[in-house]
Amino acid sequence: MSRVYVAGVGATRIDEHWDKSLRDLMVEASLKAINDAGLSRRDIEAIFVGNMSSGYLQGQEHLGSLLATWLGIPGVAASKVEAACASGGAAVHNAFLAVKSGVYDCVLVVGVEKLTDAVTSDATSALIMAEDQEYIAFTGFSFVALNALVYKAYMKKYRARQEEIASFAVHDHKYAVNNPLAQYPRLISLEEVMRSPVVADPVRLLESAPLGDGSAALVLCSENKLKELRDRDVLVELAGSSISTEIFSVHDRTDLTTIGASVKASRKAYAMAGVEPKDVDVVEVHDAFTVLGVIHLEDLGFAEKGAGWRLLSEGQLEKDGDVPTNTMGGLKAQGHPVGATGVYQIYDVVAQLRGEAGKNQVDGAEVGLAQNVGGVGGTVTVHILRRVR
């Protein structure tokens, strides 16, 4: 089987793109990634598009063929991948398998979502599709409310204070300030977070990732294709890629404070890449809500259960800490364009491994991890990237 390399990356700013369509966003990101790789559109053999809600919100499905046509390369294999908020990560996993298997030498993977054109009620309806419509959604439960249950369970079980968990949002915003792609590049204080309105008790508004529009893209290639790539000082390998599922609905699980899919996917990705948590230099976790960032760090093996929040208070998540995390702003401040988020996370890790993260650069970063979560952990993807030169 071939090793898999990230040949090129591209992304749009996450924002309210009133003047750009879903198609415009994914074409823009795709062309940036192809150009970054130093390749031509004709080098692309297959396309995988990660997206959650285009059918419901834009009335547009069949995104793979749509993108192939607008890139001017009809005839290539192309398909859409959906796994709720983990759609981007799942698309990357499928693209990884396509190259790893030797079937293709050069593939394009794109994450895209357009949410701000929708009224709030429609966006809320789209997001709750990550849960069971027949047994959960019809009751009026929202996606935020489900995460509020997790938040309460975590604080009760581990006697953690909300202020200690809410600090995750402050951390993210500090790093978003230096990220040109970030939706909200401004500092916030813990006091602001704790004064912000309660969305679903105990979740506060400034603990919640915003809705946004955006697209990010990667070009993945095989060893055979390397000789055609633009010569780079740094080459990044996608060394491990795994996906796992958890019991679908939160109420059916025995423990709301851990996500089994995250544990399983991460251990398999670590083994595939031949690394352990202590070897990881930079981490991107799916912090759609602050409490999830804390739980994910524990499930990924960076802290004992119930102690993830201590990494925040001890400064271990800073760029010069032991576990540099969400160094470009995370979902909370960079933004959360749902089906595109998993691809943005890998874009951010690649920037760190290439030494292109500017003021947020982690010195000597060689191994990075990106974790993307669908629903309340119903699907989790974990990717391990390594700088190989």
Cα distance between residue 68 and residue 305, in whole Å:
45
3-state secondary structure (DSSP) of residue 362: coil
Residue 355 backbone dihedrals phi, psi, to 5 degrees: 80, 30
Give me the count of residues in the chain.
389
> Which is it for the CA torsion 63, 66, 72, 73, positive or negative?
positive
Cis peptide before 197 (omega within 30 of 0): no
Q: Which of 85, 93, 171, 286 is catalytic?
A: 85
Q: Treating both helix axes as pointing N-terminal to C-terminal, what angle do 143-158 and 162-176 enclose, rounded to 10 degrees?
A: 120
336 is annotated as an active-site residue = yes
| CB-CB contact of 17 with 215 (8 Å) | no
The rounded distance, in Å, linking the Cα atoms of 160 and 154 is: 7
Contact between 196 and 290 under an 8 Å Cβ cutoff? The reply is no
Tokens representing residue 197 in the block = 């309105």
State the alpha helices, DSSP H only, in the chain: 22-37, 54-57, 63-70, 87-100, 120-127, 143-158, 162-176, 190-195, 260-273, 290-299, 308-313, 341-354
d(CA 299, CA 364) in angstroms, rounded, equals: 25
Choosing from 17, 171, 286, 336, the catalytic residue is 336
- Pairwise CA distance, residues 261 & 239, whole Å: 19
Can you count the helices (H) and strands (E) in the chain? 12, 11
At 29, which amino acid appears? A
**Catalytic residue IDs:** 85, 336
